[in-house]
Amino acid sequence: MLQKPWLRESRSTIVSLTIVAAASFLVVFMKGFGVVDFGDGQDYLRSATSILSGQGYLREGLTWPFFRPPGYPFVIACIWKISGVNSIVALKLFNILLHLLSTLTILKILRHYYDQKTSTVGILLFGLNPFVLLPLADIQTEPLILFLFLVFCYFLIKQFSYLNIALSSFLALAITAVRPEYLFAILMICLILLFSKQKSRKTVIKSLCILIMLTVSLSWWGMQNKKATGSLIVLTNAADYLLWNGSTAQIYKNYDISFKYDPHFDSEQYIAIQNEIKANKDKWGDGYSKATIGEKSLFWRKAYFQNVMASPMIYLRKTLEKMIIFWRPFLNPNSHGIKISAVSMLILLPLTFGTALRLFILRRKVLKDIFVMSYLSGIGVLTVVHMLQMPDQRYKFPLLIPFSSIILAPFVWQILSSGLSKNGFLTRGKMNKGN
């Protein structure tokens, strides 16, 4: 008996999602469901605990001299409130759920542009990528921000409706509350919607609603920060410190390539940065220790400008170097070893350059697509941010990997199915379909 096409497609999708789910559980199980190794995770947990206990939002006494943006701690507190237990296991199960939902969203986006077989390849490229699987095993923002931004961009290519507008506005706020640097990407996306040739009355309404939601909500949070700190702080007071940190000699020499593995590299870097922070605080004395949270940010801002003015040309050169480091297609051999770095290159190199090449080849089509332009906006913003501060590669994975999986899926499918036929990967697909 012949199977109906939709039934074969459903089975293929179910099998692919089952494989992705199994890989997710395996990675978390191997790391440990109750283990928290990621340094920032402790701050998120402490902030969530403070929220849940009714003590307010934690703004002092954290690992670094700034408080975290509120989005992720509030999500953690909500999960604990719903589950009834302050469990690390619940948070890691939530990470796995986010990964499966992201995979499903990848499927929906690919089906918007391509056929079922291409979609299956795409969700496997994404769902089994180790750089999205590994963050599931710890308490960090990557699984959440990947899902939120992916769904936000998905709503941009869906048919416009008032529900769509409301959800997009909420997602824009959630994204900004989790990772504030994405605010600039969302603002760029709104400009694209307002001034692109494909704009319509509904796209204008959508952009304005997103901007109004962000303005009202961030103003409210800024006022809460003013009540608690004495200063109007829109989301977090991290910017001045991160600019200073990115202009220090310690960060400048942090990413030198060495093929000798140093198992103490990360811990030594952490200690060195903490010592620099302490040295500055000691130098500033009572002026810093007695200052309000908002006033303390001014000390870091002044130190940043001092670093810049001490040698502007070195600062400029090092800033450009940090951009290159951020997009270096392999992990740092110092802290990971040559074998892991080589394996990472086998994944990151084809993803990075393959995506860039495909975008160049299909530039007349993809550069008119709102989904593609949205991700390119996000990638551009993250690049600038990490040029100015510490160029941590893990922050690019929530954008690079889902985007690359979607862009490369039809090309990979053609290689798997029939090889590179003449102009095959240039003509298939319909990437010009987006709004």
Q: Rounded mean pLDDT of the chain?
A: 88
CB 2 within 8 A of CB 81: no
Name the least confident of 84-93, 288-297, 331-340.
Answer: 331-340
| Alpha carbon 210 to its chain's center | 20
Range 38-50 average pLDDT: 88
Question: Is the alpha carbon torsion for 322, 147, 130, 136 positive or negative?
Answer: positive
The residue-averaged pLDDT of 380-396 equals 92
Q: Is the pLDDT of residue 242 over 60?
A: yes
Q: What is the DSSP letter of 48?
A: H
Separation CA 247–CA 113 (nearest Å)? 43
- 329 DSSP 8-state letter: S
Q: What is the DSSP string of 268-328?
A: HHHHHHHHHHHHHHHHHTHHHHTS-HHHHHHHHHHHHHHHHHH-HHHHHHHHHHHHHHHT-
Instruction: Using pLDDT thresholds of 50, 70 and 90, give the confidence band for residue 398.
Output: very high
Q: Using one digit for the tens of pLDDT, what is the confidence trace for 95-131? A: 999 999 999 999 999 988 887 888 889 999 999 999 9
Question: What residue spans define the domains of the chain?
Answer: 8-433
Distances from the Cα of 118 to the Cα of 115, 341, 352, 362, angstroms = 6, 30, 20, 17
Closest CA relative to residue 214, chosen from 250, 239, 190, 238: 190
Cα first-last separation, the chain: 41
Could you tell me the pTM of the whole model? Answer: 0.91
pLDDT the model gives residue 427: 43
